[in-house]
Amino acid sequence: MSLVYPYDSRLRQRIALNVSGFEARHRSAQGLKRAAVAATVVRGEDGEAGLIVTKRVSRLRAHSNQWAIPGGRLDEGESHEQAALRELEEEVGLHLRPDSVLGSLDDYPTRSGYLIRPVVVWAGARVKLRRNPHEVASIHVFPLAELDRPDSPHIFEIPESDRPVIRVPYGDTEIYAPTAAMLFQFREVCVHGRDTRVDGFDQPVFAWR
């Protein structure tokens, strides 16, 4: 099968142009804890571009066994970009310079009390990833083409919320919001240049804690 999104300079230029032309909504935390994730574009083994996602270990106090984009809470005095790059190195062993940051997407408020800002990052040449066993059970490269599946995203209702929940398929499993919301907005904004918002999507009840 031919590559849909080959990892090359043209794709980097496309993503950089789209995210720079997007007016991201950055809001006041208003009691939420500020956090950042690194939506990092890397080269997959087949030469196709993908995003780094992780499966969290089961022993974590919050969001154990869930899919995630590398990231975490901002330290005192940190910018979102600094926090995203720090967490990227801490979780998957990838050290990148500040000039690898291409821009950011909308802040996404979570039911568990965080306001997450996805920072868009280009990894550059071939990279080696090394998981932090205290936080990460496994590291995966989510192909950008997977986001274009005809069954992605899946938006559905739950009785506990007046907002729809979003999830995206990945292989034979599914990834739910908040990660799914950020993956979907990356597709819409960075890949396709669409002015799409995702803060109206809720998370499943198991992700509220």
Domain covering 9-147 assigned CATH 3.50.50.60 in the classification: no
Residue type for position 87? E
Token pair belonging to 149: 């599946």
Its pTM stands at: 0.95
Q: What pLDDT digit, counting tens, does each position of 121-142 carry?
A: 999 877 899 999 999 999 999 9
> In the chain, what are the domain boundaries?
9-147
Q: What pLDDT digit, counting tens, does each position of 60-113 carry?
A: 555 467 899 999 999 999 999 999 999 999 999 999 999 999 999 999 999 999
Tell me the DSSP string of 117-159. EEEEEE--S-------TTTEEEEEEEEGGGGG-TT-SEEE--T
pLDDT for 1 equals 42
